[in-house]
């Protein structure tokens, strides 16, 4: 095993870890200040649960080699037998333990993405239980199906391409976020005209940390320090930049002014859109993916939520679910075997089978996320009782009622 590859991958793992605190800042700045602590906490606690679960049994269920193609077994419980010298597979360029560390950070941030959809109205104890169940029922099986040896959705199965988490991370969490916010119902003040995001600079800091970590997220998915990692780095940058600009254009067309929150949201949307194809599509195609992902997500946020009547509070579905589906489909349009021999050629190169595999992988992921979320919601209700906070607690804010803390004590406690 090459020491340079090991060092590169451990640095990328640390980059991906940093995305979860970044997400907490991004979400935390978007809510009312009376819910800031709770919103940040819903990401931060997953650092604890996600890592402990991954070490005890999550990695084993996600990646231990099995013949069933759906989920791993318990052969690597407590990371026993996970080698620090041999690779996950014979062809792996890094030790199994390094791969485990990198994938652990994906398992942490993915369920945290869901929390944006239900901000301000779910009991913390219920969310705690739900996230644990969701990781077991949805995330670990999907990670195995897409990325593990013999997984039924990935290269050893139907051939769906997911370089860094379109299906496993963004579509799974985005669809689950949609189902969960529908089950919980709308916020009591959903239609209040004076709703404002309480701290835009915090949103910018969070979005910037997300993009910083995303370079490790996508480039690191090459699993070694090579040209493919450099390619994924550049497609990531190009898509995010293009999406930022196209969201600004959407803001100008609709609202006559570019907004800072819009620019940040567009940047994140572009990162979501390029994730499944970062190591499979040309760099010029990444610009197209970024330019088109923002309008698709913008339409869902601006019009889709009103049309369909769901309260996706911080647009977890509208950005991650919608952007992930769009990016996954466009991967089947632009993928090139000249860039990555694992990929089939996409529609622009005259072949259609890869697009079909992408659509099938997305469809199966959606079904797993919907059914899994319904199961987890039902079990959570049995374990914790009522899942949603009372109307009084919602009015007071979840910082005080769920945690006994306020984000800005010198500025007047819980109020708006």
CB contact at 8 A, 31 and 119: yes
| Closest C-alpha among 350, 256, 346, 254 to residue 302 | 254
Please give the mean pLDDT across all residues of the chain: 95
Give the separation between CA 242 and CA 291, rounded to whole angstroms.
5
CB contact at 8 A, 88 and 96: yes
Q: Domain for residue 138, yes or no?
A: yes
What pLDDT is recorded for position 279? Answer: 98
Distance set, CA 214 to CA 17, 178, 224 (Å)? 10, 23, 16
pLDDT in tens, 339-392: 999 999 999 999 999 999 999 999 999 999 999 999 999 999 999 999 999 999
Average pLDDT of the residues in 281-310: 96
Residue 412 has pLDDT above 80, yes or no: no
Q: How confident is the model at residue 195 (pLDDT cuts 50, 70, 90)?
A: low
Residue 55 has pLDDT above 50, yes or no: yes
Average pLDDT of the residues in 44-61: 98
What pLDDT is recorded for position 178? Answer: 98
| Closest C-alpha among 229, 293, 306, 230 to residue 265 | 293
Q: How confident is the model at residue 167 (pLDDT cuts 50, 70, 90)?
A: very high
Tokens describing residue 234: 């550049």
Residue 414 has pLDDT above 50, yes or no: no
Q: Domain for residue 406, yes or no?
A: yes
Q: Domain for residue 285, yes or no?
A: yes
What pLDDT is recorded for position 229? Answer: 98
CB contact at 8 A, 167 and 362: yes
Q: Which helix (H) or strand (E) holds 180?
A: helix 172-184
Residue 413 has pLDDT above 90, yes or no: no
Q: Domain for residue 60, yes or no?
A: yes
Q: Domain for residue 416, yes or no?
A: no
Q: Domain for residue 90, yes or no?
A: yes
The CATH number of the domain holding residue 238 is 1.10.3430.10
Q: Domain for residue 181, yes or no?
A: yes
What pLDDT is recorded for position 97? Answer: 97
Distance set, CA 200 to CA 28, 35, 216, 262 (Å)? 10, 15, 25, 11
Q: Domain for residue 144, yes or no?
A: yes
| Closest C-alpha among 297, 410, 413, 408 to residue 40 | 408
What pLDDT is recorded for position 67? Answer: 87
Domain limits at 250? Answer: 3-411
Chain length of the chain: 416
What is the domain count for the chain? 1
């Amino acid at each position: 095993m090459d020491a340079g590859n090991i060092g590169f991958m451990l640095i990328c793992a640390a980059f991906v870890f940093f995305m979860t605190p970044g997400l907490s800042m991004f979400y935390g700045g978007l809510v009312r200040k009376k819910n800031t602590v709770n919103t940040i906490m819903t990401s931060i606690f997953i650092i604890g649960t996600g890592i402990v679960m991954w070490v005890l049994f999550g990695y084993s269920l996600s990646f231990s080699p099995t013949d069933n193609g759906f989920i791993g077994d318990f052969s690597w419980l407590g990371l026993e037998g996970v080698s620090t010298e041999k690779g996950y597979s014979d062809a792996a360029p890094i030790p199994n333990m390094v791969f485990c560390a990198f994938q652990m950070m994906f398992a942490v941030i993915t369920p945290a993405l869901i929390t944006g959809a239900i901000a301000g109205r779910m009991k913390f104890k219920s969310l705690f239980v739900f996230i644990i169940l969701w990781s077991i029922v949805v995330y670990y099986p999907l990670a195995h199906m897409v990325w593990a040896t013999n997984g039924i959705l990935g290269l050893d199965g139907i051939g769906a391409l997911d370089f860094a988490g379109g299906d496993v991370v963004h579509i799974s969490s985005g669809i689950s976020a949609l189902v969960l916010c529908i089950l919980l119902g709308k916020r009591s003040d959903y239609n209040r005209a004076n709703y404002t995001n309480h701290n835009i600079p915090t949103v910018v800091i969070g979005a910037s940390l997300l993009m910083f970590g995303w370079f490790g997220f996508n480039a690191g998915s090459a699993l070694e320090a090579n040209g493919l990692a450099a390619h994924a780095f550049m497609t990531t940058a190009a898509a995010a930049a293009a999406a930022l600009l196209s969201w600004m254009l959407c803001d100008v067309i609709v609202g006559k002014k570019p907004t800072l929150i819009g620019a940040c949201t567009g940047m994140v949307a572009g990162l979501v859109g390029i994730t499944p194809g970062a190591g499979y599509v040309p760099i010029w195609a990444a610009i197209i993916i970024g330019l088109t992902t923002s309008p698709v997500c913008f339409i869902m946020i601006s019009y889709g939520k009103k049309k369909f009547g769901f309260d996706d509070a911080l647009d977890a579905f509208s950005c991650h679910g919608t952007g992930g589906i769009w990016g996954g489909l466009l991967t089947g349009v632009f993928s090139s075997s000249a860039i990555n021999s694992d990929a089939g050629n996409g529609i622009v190169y005259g072949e259609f089978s890869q697009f079909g595999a992408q659509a099938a992988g997305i469809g199966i992921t959606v079904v797993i996320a919907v059914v899994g979320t319904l199961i987890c919601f039902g079990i959570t209700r049995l374990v914790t009782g009522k899942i949603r906070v009372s109307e009084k607690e919602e009015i007071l804010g979840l910082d005080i009622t769920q945690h006994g803390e306020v984000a800005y004590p010198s500025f007047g406690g819980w109020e708006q």
